[in-house]
Structure 1
Amino acid sequence: MAWVQIRINSTKENAELISDELMELGCPSVTFVDAKDTPIYEPKLGEVTLWADTTVIGLFDASVDMQAITDQLATLPALQEQFVFKVEQLEDKDWEREWMDNFHPIQFGERLWICPSWRDIPDPNAVNVLLDPGLAFGTGTHNTTALCLRWLDSLDLTGKTVVDFGCGSGILGIAALKLGAERVIGIDIDPQALEASRDNAERNGVADLLEVYLPEDQPEFEADILVANILAQPLRELHQVILGLLKSGGQFALSGILEEQVASVEDIYSQYANLETSLQDGEWMRVAGQKH
């Protein structure tokens, strides 16, 4: 199917109004992108944060009369002072195949591979986790997830109980099970994350060893290993909760921390643990240590 897209210059105050109007006009997909490369690293929980200068992109079937669309958009009060837009014809191609071709098996550490289900497994004798890219949860391609996967690969997890705090897709917990962990407990505030973790564990044949809970439902336990790939702010605010899930001598790795944030996380956790030298991948850091 051929597609055409309209790119509209906006502000964060008007972006959602424009999006609503595009949807009313039959647009099946609306995307917000940063117009001026202004990073937003850590929105508050449940908050949708947009850039001061936001580009709103609407996708339409190429048969749609785009003149009629732009005429209608021009009537919006939010756009009457300045309506800057660009309509672009997109190349007609198999976008699903194009997207799939961008993902390949990736190795982490010595033993561990993360493999999309449509790709051949490079090393059948390795520890292989089958995980397809999704829209919301980790797949191993982000620096923060990679830092955690390499850390897990470096450990002897045989017989260990592991906590995946903020489990998302379940990638870290599933990797831990494949690497020899006896039990993994995944915790997340998003019920969809728990469902994704269960589905991915089933695909990898470890569903009977993975337990997932909302925070308010989790049982009491003390784990040997904890990994948390979230963000610096909740890592700081929830340090007592996180450390409370570990037994004395338990090991942990914390990720989702920017280089300029790492000192504040280290300052808190160093009061309760012996920390290793924090490792960096791009602009992201991993803090790891052993609880006192």
Structure 2
Amino acid sequence: MPATTRMRDESAGADGACERSHPPGDRHAGTNGLRCVLSNCPTDTMPFLELTLSCSEVTLPRFQNALDDVGAMAVTMLDANADTSNERALLEPGVGEMPLWDRLTMTALFDGGSDALVVLAALEAFDPGLDWSQVGFRMVEDSDWIRAWIDLFKSMQFGARTFIVPWNQDVPEAANAPDAAVVRLDPGLAFGSGTHQTTALCLRWLDSLAVSGELQGRSVLDFGCGSGILAIAALKLGASHAVGVDYDPQALLATADNAHRNALEAQLAVYMPQDEPVQTYQVVVANILASALSTLADTLAARVVPGGRIALSGILHGQEDELLERYAPWFEQLRCERDDEWMRIEGVRRAASGTQNG
């Protein structure tokens, strides 16, 4: 779910990212508009009192000032329309900008010893002009998020040959097959571990291309690369070289780190979108959001050579028809694959002249 947070903790690094870990998500954060707002990031695991309310972009600053004043340890802004057809991606904000959604859900964390009624009374006293009647409270259990995530992240198989294995675990017996493609991944490096259906759909697609011989020696673009899981899997499955593109600099660091972990630094380059060399690829995969896929249709189509393959993911069931229509001018053999409520669209680039292989 897209979220926005602002760091105010003095322990934050120079790049503005909190140096402590918080619940990681599998969907790619850069293109989903994820940032983080932590003011007094706790030094140890502890229970929290969680407050949730709805607001607009107009009233957000007043709510946020009130929450900060009464001692909120963290404040997170979420798209109120997340995981619906109205979900909106926030792409590449300018320097000093903080673009937000029209309607937001705010979540604030307080010390677990806080009294909800006392907090609510303080908020009403700070700004009585705001509507505090819809505020909800609940206790959030003590949890070591890094340890919980690592414990939950197990080896997984996708398709016939592809295995995602945590860096700190032994390779499963099935992954010792001569043709197995084993991706070593650090689950602490954020976005894209294979546990979400959107990533799984892409991994199975890459595996199927490898099985049919359509990935061997091919060039690959992973747009919205996150952890680099898809680009690295493609290389392990036989692609010759890959490029990872992301709006989030932290995602590029994560991809580079995981490429090093898999001894693939020489075959995988990473770029911010504005820095990516203008070239075409034989295989393109984009696991972002439906709204971003629609916005970037021209850009992504231009990256695929005639006869090349594309896969689009991050699409909720019900959003696929609009995207199929959007990509039809450039692609044929368009088809969809479903996993629970998530869809993957794949297709083949129509023949065109004047396009050069990358």
Counterpart amino acid of 1:104?
A: K
* 2:310 alignment partner, SS class: strand
* 1:219 alignment partner, SS class: coil
1:148 aligns with 2:198: no
**What's 2:301 paired with?**
243
Measure the CA separation in 2 of the matches of 1:228 and 1:289: 12
Aligned residues of 1:144 and 1:229 also touching (Cα < 8 A): yes
**What's 1:28 paired with?**
73
Distance 1:95 1:130, change over 3 A: same
Task: Tell which has more relative contact order, 1 or 2 (C-alpha 8 A, sep 6+).
Answer: 2
1:6 aligns with 2:49: yes
- Give the Å deviation of 1:55: 5.8
Measure the CA separation in 2 of the matches of 1:222 and 1:28: 46
Q: Provide Cα deviations, 1:99-126, integer angstroms capped at 9, x if missing partner.
A: 3322212211111111222333223423
Q: In the TM superposition, what are the counterparts of 1:161-180 in structure 2 within 5 Å?
A: 161-180=219-238
Measure the CA separation in 2 of the matches of 1:254 and 1:111: 21
Instruction: Return the match for 2:150 from 76, 100, 104.
Output: 100
Which deviates more from structure 2 when the two are superposed, residues 10-19 or residues 32-41? 32-41
- Give the Å deviation of 1:42: 3.0
- Give the Å deviation of 1:222: 2.3
**What's 1:267 paired with?**
325
TM-score, normalised relative to structure 2: 0.69
Which deviates more from structure 2 when the two are superposed, residues 131-140 or residues 212-221? 131-140
Aligned residues of 1:4 and 1:87 also touching (Cα < 8 A): no
1:111 aligns with 2:165: no
**What's 1:284 paired with?**
342
Aligned residues of 1:7 and 1:55 also touching (Cα < 8 A): no
Q: Provide Cα deviations, 1:12-39, integer angstroms capped at 9, x if missing partner.
A: 2356644454445554333457999984
Q: Provide Cα deviations, 1:177-233, integer angstroms capped at 9, x if missing partner.
A: 111111001122222222221112112211111011122222232211111112222
Counterpart amino acid of 2:262?
A: N
TM-score, normalised relative to structure 1: 0.83
Instruction: Return the match for 1:48 from 92, 100, 104.
Output: 100
Measure the CA separation in 2 of the matches of 1:263 and 1:285: 11
Aligned residues of 1:177 and 1:184 also touching (Cα < 8 A): yes
* 1:277 alignment partner, SS class: strand
Measure the CA separation in 2 of the matches of 1:238 and 1:284: 19
Aligned residues of 1:194 and 1:213 also touching (Cα < 8 A): yes
Measure the CA separation in 1 of the matches of 2:138 and 2:276: 50
